[in-house]
Structure 1
């Protein structure tokens, strides 16, 4: 069965997240986006875990559904579809290894509540689980992996947003040069990495050390509306073991839906306070220092990939699944209407399109352009056409500032 999943999200119990991150809103937005399986996020937080156990009941094997679904009028008829949840969470490991402080975020996928309780019992001995939905623990990522596998041999640990500078396995500020450098003899139990918003599969294909490692994408959503800004497409049995086998073996991951990586807030190098954004070559020429204030530049994902890559740009391993780069529909609508994407006018057209055309992924990737034009404008249809063709205008993100990826399209461009 082919379906789309977003397995890395957060709840309202994580810091810097929206209060709307509850199960009902996740259920609603999953349908609006076109997502069949959603991670619960934050399974280590005691209050959120208790809420999950109250509000969810078994669905497909190892997956869960809402005990009481909201009224159907919460979702347009064109978008309505079943939604299942998979127990997941993110843990921030901060520790010393190899003479350096390491900060590695890890995505955890678990087959059942019993495994979540076993893991939490071990983690609670290390530090507080109640202060943040994504707990910060003085714990080696390798030791966390051992605990995860001890909680359940069917559990998975996936290095999260693997390239971001500050909190990732390969990040420039505190990361490693390989999976084995981080996880030592347990590295064979790492079957996948999450590419993150600032990189895409093509960038990761440049590292032969990642051959055989499954590349997955998720939103890391901090509000319900951000669900699905990246996602993974599976073609496997709809159950926990089907997802586990697809990630662990590679077969069954049919592709990913991606940000244009330049839109990610750590793609390029730079220093946001001084407005400096550099390419890797410019950073090297300036000796990794900001030319305005002299402080160290934040080395971005593109630069870090260049440092570790052993293949040229354009290399692609055999049998690597495809990916599709998209711009969020609300941003395309804002551009077509020449208004902010958070404006009432853009929001109204967004929901009108969902009502008439179907979920967001269908509109972005599959819906006939003529139908989009008929229900909205030729300008929007032309913008979607250009996005699908990769004909975009880019100002890369850097040092914590999101980039902009847009299309220039008028009614005359529509086909």
Structure 2
């Protein structure tokens, strides 16, 4: 068995011809540049690109296979250098069962199945060329189609206030929208971790995933899993989610939830923190608020006495969050040590101080050990690393 890093939620900003895919994503985020960034700079062994239903993306993948730029592997997935890409799609569900739209991720075994899924989806969305389109189909029928094609079905960023399974009162139970038997895992999102999510007992049977939801190159790998697999492929990932044949998730590595941009409840007008969602803001007196993940989880929490044993959740601080590391310093570090995964997880202090100031090296080590103080985020604004080391606030 081998160990692999996997980030399974990465968006495409533009096609090769320059057409938009994920409108809110960077124009520089193309299929080709994602492969290069993930393989050469981030050190990701497995990535999930979740806009592969787009016809031009499928055409680009086909052309790359024909030209030998990347290869389709027997276990499912497309390999470029050291990285295997799992073909995925993010879809918006809003049927009569839920009070608001919510997002799900689906992953297909190979090109053949993704083409079939794209054709099926094209008849049920308004614009198949764009990411995260609303599907005019029930959540349960979507699940059935995914399973018919041998795919994986994963509700996305399940606690965030907007467009998620539990966000802002969309549902109080996943059974309201989905068939519980046809869910393979759930994605926690940037503002929660295993300890927080384990307050909800109906999630006990599902593996937890932590992914970046990257809309730019710099965000790739800010959250990821460490997996134990025989090889990086779709079939091996599927086995890991089921803890089959010694395949498994070894750890979830993600932001301290305090750094997430929806951790705390905030005033919708001025962004000030709020204790209660129905109280007037102490700063501007507005009563409108964005309910944070921490608040929402208090509403969802139940007496979960049968919590299963889960992989450790390691609070990971991306290099870009660390004081003293701007674009130039980051490039210097990568030239010296290789990928960001290596820098974050392996390089010793003495080696770091040969390239960067000792103070910055100490921040990296403190981040690795979970000793950096955090100013909580909320209302769409990320939390911040304090320059004072100690316990997170």
Distance in 1 (CA, whole Å) between partners of 2:327 and 2:342 is 18
Q: Determine if contact 2:75/2:236 at 8 Å carries over to the other structure.
A: no
TM-score, normalization: structure 1? 0.83
Residue 388 of structure 1: how far off its partner (Å)? 2.3
SS at match of 2:95: strand
The counterpart of 2:30, out of the listed 15, 19, 22, is: 22
Q: Give 3-state SS (helix, strand or coil) of 1:375's partner.
A: coil
Native 8 Å contact 1:254 1:322 kept in 2? yes
Q: Is the 1:37–1:83 Cα contact (8 Å) retained in structure 2?
A: yes
CA distance in structure 2 between the aligned counterparts of 1:288 and 1:195, rounded to whole angstroms: 28
Using the TM superposition, give the Cα deviation of residue 93 of structure 1 relative to its aligned residue in structure 2, in angstroms.
1.3
Q: Deviations over 1:154-173 (max 9, x none)?
A: 31110000111120111124
Q: How far did residue 140 of structure 1 move? A: 2.7
Match of 2:196 in 1: 203
The equivalent position to 2:361 in structure 1, one of 381, 384, 402, is 381
Match of 1:37 among 29, 46, 49: 46
Instruction: Please report how far the alpha carbon of residue 293 of structure 1 lies from its aligned counterpart in structure 2 after TM superposition.
Output: 4.5
Query: Shift of the alpha carbon at 1:394?
Result: 2.0
Paired residue for 2:270? 274
Could you say if the C-alpha distance between residues 142 and 52 of structure 1 is closer, same or farther in structure 2, counting changes exceeding 3 Å?
same
Distance 1:53 1:128 in 2: 24
Distance (whole Å) between structure 2 residues aligned to residue 406 and residue 3 of structure 1: 31
Q: How far did residue 60 of structure 1 move?
A: 5.1
| SS state at 1:30 partner | helix
SS at match of 2:126: coil
Query: Is this contact kept in 1: 2:268–2:289, CA < 8 A?
Result: no
- Establish whether residue 160 from structure 1 lines up as the match of residue 192 from structure 2: no
Distance 1:275 1:399, change over 3 A: closer
Q: Distance in 1 between matches of 2:190 and 2:74?
A: 30
Residue of structure 2 equivalent to 1:136? 134
Report the secondary structure of 2:289's partner residue. coil
The answer on 1:258 being equivalent to 2:254 is yes
State the Cα RMSD in Å. 2.2
User: Are 1:241 and 2:235 matched, yes or no?
Assistant: yes
Matched residue, 1:11: 12
Deviations 1:46-77 (A, max 9, x none): 212221222243135202124xxxxxxxxxxx
After superposition, what is the alpha-carbon deviation per residue over 1:102-127, rounded to whole angstroms, capped at 9, x for unaligned? 21100111101221122222222222
Superposed CA deviations along residues 67-104 of structure 1, whole A, max 9, x for unmatched, are: xxxxxxxxxxxxxx61111101101112332xx53211
How has the CA–CA distance of structure 1 residues 105 and 288 changed in structure 2, closer, same or farther, with 3 Å as cutoff?
A: farther
1:244 CA displacement: 0.8
More helix by share: 1
Distance (whole Å) between structure 2 residues aligned to residue 101 and residue 205 of structure 1: 24
Counting only pairs closer than 5 Å after superposition, residues 241-390 of structure 1 correspond to structure 2 as 241-249=235-243, 252-278=248-274, 282-283=275-276, 287-290=278-281, 292-311=284-303, 317-332=307-322, 335-336=323-324, 346-390=326-370
- Partners of 2:334 and 2:134 in 1: CA distance: 39
Structure 1 residues without counterparts, runs of 5 or longer: 67-80, 410-415
Q: Normalising by structure 2, report the TM-score.
A: 0.88
Trace 1:179-198 onto structure 2 (pairs within 5 A): 179-183=174-178, 186-198=179-191
| Other structure's SS at 1:114 match | helix
C-alpha offsets along residues 261-301 of structure 1, whole Å, 9 cap, x if unaligned? Answer: 111111111124223212xxx216xx355453544311111
Among residues 106, 110, 114, which one is paired with 2:104 in the alignment?
106
Write the distance in 2 (CA, Å) between the matches of 1:361 and 1:288.
43
